[in-house]
Amino acid sequence: MKITTPTLLIDKEKALRNISRMVEKARRNKVRLRPHFKTHQSVQVGEWFREFGVEAITVSSVRMARYFAYHGWRDILVAFPANVRELESINELASRIKLHLVAVNPETVTALAKGLQHPVQLSVKIDTGYHRTGIPATNYAELDALLKLIQGQEKLQFAGFVVHDGHTYKQTDAAAIHAIFNNSVTQLNQLRERYKADFPNLQRSLGDTPSCSIVEDLQGLEEIRPGNFVFYDLTQQHIGSCSFEDIAVCMACPVVAKHPDRGEIILYGGSVHFSKDVLLQQEDAPLFGRVVELTENGWSEPLEGIAVVSLSQEHGVVRASPEHFAKYNIGDLMYVLPVHSCLTADLRKATSPRKASRSSTCRACRSGS
C-alpha cells in the first residue's frame, strides 16, 4: 500500500527481539513481566506479547483497560492513581477481569471502598525518588494508616507496592541507573520487612524501561512493568537502554518543500504526529528526530548530517548537508526515528503500519495492517 501521509512503521522482528529479551530476563530472575501497553496501545502488538506467555499487563487509563479487556486480557493493572470519578467503568471492568488499581491517598481508598461492587487488587504507589506522585517509602505513619484502612475493606485486596522511577530518564550513565534501581529495591525491601507479617504475599513492582533494560539482577522484586522497551526510541538510546538497532519504530513522512539556500527540507510530519518531545544532547542543537534510510531488511542507523531540528503543528524542519539535501525530492518519503515512541505511537494509533513503498522487502511490512 502506498504511504501518502505521516505513517508509523513498525519493524516486527526488532519488536519481537525486544520482547523476547525482556521475557527471558524476567524468567531468569523469576519475576513477573507485566508490560505497560500504553506505548503501543495496539491489540495486534499485544498479541505478540501473548505468544511469549505474557498474561498480565499494565495500562495507564481505565479506557485503555477496557480496550484490552475487550480483546481478551484478563489481568490488568491501571498504573495511575485511581480516578474515583470513573467508578462506573471500574465496576464494570472488575466484574469480569482481575483488575488492579493504585492508591496514594486515604480519600481514594475510602471512595473505592464505598463505591466498589466487585473485588479489586489495590497497590500503594511508593515514591522512591522521582517525586511525581506516591508516598515516600519511609513515611511509616502515613503508610501504616493507609494499609490499615485498606485491610478493613471487603472489596479491596492489598496487592503490594508499585514504584515508577521516572528519574532514570534523565540519566545517561549505567552506574547512575544501577544506583537508582538499588536504592528503590532497598526501600521496597524495607517495606516488605515491615508489612510482610500482615501481608505475606505482598508484591514489589517496579516499572521504568531504563532500569529494566540495563539492570540484569532483579532480585528483590516480584514484578517489572516496562513499556517503552517494545519499540525503544532515541531517548532510550541516549540513556543507554538500547542501541540504535533495537529501535523498532520509524515515521515515514512525505517531503513537501525544499529550501536549498539554507539546506532545509520540510516534511509533512509535525507535533501532532511526533509529539513535541525534544532530545537535548550536549553540544548539539535540540533534536526532534533522526533520519534513517530503508534497507533490504529494515532501516539503517541514523545518518550523520541530517536531522529533524524543529517541529510545528504539521511541519517538520530537517536540516541536511548538501549531499543529503540533494538526495531527497518533493514527494519522496523520509524515514525518521522518533525521540519518544510512547507519544508517537499514541498520537498515531489510528494508523496501521503499512508496507513501505520504497522497499518491497522492508521488514516493516511484516507487522501487517
Residues that bind its own copies (CB under 8 A): 2-5, 38, 60-63, 80-86, 88-89, 104-105, 107-108, 111, 125, 131-133, 136, 166, 254, 256-259, 261-262, 266, 268, 271-272, 275-277, 312-315, 317, 329-331, 333, 342-343, 346-347
Identify the helix (H) or strand (E) that includes residue 203.
strand 203-206
Query: Which of 193/261 has CB closer to its own copies?
Result: 261
Query: Which of 16/250 has CB closer to its own copies?
Result: 250
Answer for the pair 3, 253: CB distance below 8 angstroms, yes or no.
no
Query: Which of 26/317 has CB closer to its own copies?
Result: 317
Which amino acid type is present at position 225? R
Min. distance of Cβ 206 from its own copies in angstroms? 17
Query: Which of 7/184 has CB closer to its own copies?
Result: 7
Give the residue among 257, 240, 233 at the shortest CA–CA distance from 334: 257
Check residue 312 and report its DSSP letter. -
How many other CB atoms are found less than 10 A from the CB of residue 175?
9
Query: Which of 182/310 has CB closer to its own copies?
Result: 310
Gyration radius from the chain CA atoms? 22
Min. distance of Cβ 219 from its own copies in angstroms? 29
Query: Which of 107/304 has CB closer to its own copies?
Result: 107
Min. distance of Cβ 4 from its own copies in angstroms? 4
**Cell digits for 117?**
461492587
Rounded CA separation 65/115 (Å): 19
Min. distance of Cβ 76 from its own copies in angstroms? 16
One DSSP character per residue, 263-283 reads: TEEEEE--HHHH-S--B--TT
Min. distance of Cβ 136 from its own copies in angstroms? 8
Min. distance of Cβ 58 from its own copies in angstroms? 12
Which amino acid type is present at position 154? E
**Cell digits for 242?**
538500547
Min. distance of Cβ 175 from its own copies in angstroms? 25
Q: Is 181 helix (H, G, I), strand (E, B) or coil?
A: helix
Query: Which of 31/342 has CB closer to its own copies?
Result: 342
Min. distance of Cβ 273 from its own copies in angstroms? 10
Answer for the pair 184, 165: CB distance below 8 angstroms, yes or no.
yes
- Dihedral of CA 64/67/70/73: which sign? negative
Query: Which of 222/277 has CB closer to its own copies?
Result: 277
Instruction: Provide φ and ψ at 45, rounded to 5°.
Output: -65, -35
